[in-house]
């Protein structure tokens, strides 16, 4: 082996060692720092940003009618085939969905249905707390989709919350207090 090859081998070894030492320093720095644990849902709750893609909801127009024209574009573009739309025409000749169901157990929450809708009838909202022991309970119908809340105007923070299990499992929030959890992470 020549001297040039020996120098290159030595240089690569020291570079690897320097990278390893900086990675271990970062690891030990986080290991001995204060941990950041979210006390969800007992004491605090995360408020999602307005761009967050949570549950689906259907919108209404100014007259209170459902905006959906049952064109079935959302069902066709859905990659996991979790949307089922059955159209009907009313006495005025307008199309509406007789059946509009979304199987959230199969949904990817990709937002393609929201992008494909020509009437802006379907959107993805801010609710992220839905679970069930049965997958049949995760199939959401038209009336439930109309009753869901819309998008969040603001968000991204953590607010004070209280878990209430007296009647149902319910998280009560107070939006006046809170903090930005991102700034609690140790930075150098």
Which one-letter DSSP state was computed for residue 93? S
123 and 73 in a single domain? The answer is yes
Q: Are residues 86 and 123 in the same domain?
A: yes
Same domain, 129 and 78: yes
Do 84 and 18 have their domain in common? no
pLDDT number for residue 26: 87
143 and 184 part of one domain: no
Tell me: do 80 and 96 sit in the same domain. Answer: yes
Distance separating alpha carbons of residues 167 and 170, to the nearest angstrom: 8
Residue 121 sits in the same domain as residue 157: no
Binding residues: 68, 71, 74, 78, 107, 110, 113, 117
Residues 141 and 183 in one domain: no
CATH number where 77 lies? 3.30.70.3270
Q: 105: which DSSP letter?
A: T
Report yes or no on whether pTM surpasses 0.85.
no
In the chain, how many domains are there? Answer: 3
Say what the pLDDT of residue 188 is: 47
Identify the bridge partners of residue 102 per DSSP, sorted by sequence position: 83, 140
Give the domain range for residue 40: 35-50+152-188
Strands 83-89 and 95-103: antiparallel
Beta carbons within 8 Å of 130's beta carbon, 6+ residues apart: 55, 104, 138
Residues annotated within the binding site for [4Fe-4S] cluster are 68, 71, 74, 78, 107, 110, 113, 117
pLDDT the model gives residue 185: 63
| The total number of residues written for the chain in this structure | 188
The encoded tokens of residue 38 equal 């979210």
**Whether residues 24 and 46 fall in one domain:** no
pLDDT by 10s per residue, the chain, length 188: 566 666 656 777 777 888 899 999 988 888 887 777 767 777 777 777 778 888 999 999 999 899 999 999 999 999 999 999 999 998 988 899 999 999 999 999 999 999 999 999 999 988 887 888 998 999 999 999 998 888 777 677 777 777 777 766 566 666 555 555 566 665 54
Task: Assess whether 62 and 127 both reside in one domain.
Answer: yes
Q: What angle do CA 51, 84, 146 make, to 5 degrees?
A: 55
Kindly state whether residues 163 and 102 are assigned to the same domain. Answer: no
Say whether both 63 and 103 belong to one domain: yes
Q: How much is the pLDDT for 165?
A: 72
């Amino acid at each position: 082996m020549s001297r040039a090859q020996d120098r290159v081998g030595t240089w690569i070894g020291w570079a690897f060692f320097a990278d390893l030492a900086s990675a271990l320093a970062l690891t030990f720095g986080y290991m001995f720092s204060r941990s950041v644990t979210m006390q969800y849902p007992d004491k605090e709750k995360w408020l999602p940003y307005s761009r967050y893609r949570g549950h689906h909801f259907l919108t209404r127009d100014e007259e209170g009618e459902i905006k959906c024209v049952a064109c079935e574009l959302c069902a066709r573009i859905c990659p996991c085939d979790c949307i089922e739309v059955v159209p009907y025409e009313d006495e005025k000749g307008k199309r509406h969905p007789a059946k509009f169901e979304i199987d959230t157990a199969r949904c990817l929450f990709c937002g393609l249905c929201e992008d494909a809708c020509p009437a802006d009838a379907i959107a993805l909202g801010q609710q992220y707390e839905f679970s069930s022991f049965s997958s049949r309970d995760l199939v959401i119908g038209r009336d439930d989709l109309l009753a869901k809340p819309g998008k969040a105007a603001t968000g991204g923070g953590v607010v004070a919350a209280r878990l209430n299990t007296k009647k149902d499992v319910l998280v009560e929030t107070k939006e006046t207090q809170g903090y930005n959890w991102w700034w609690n992470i140790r930075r150098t």
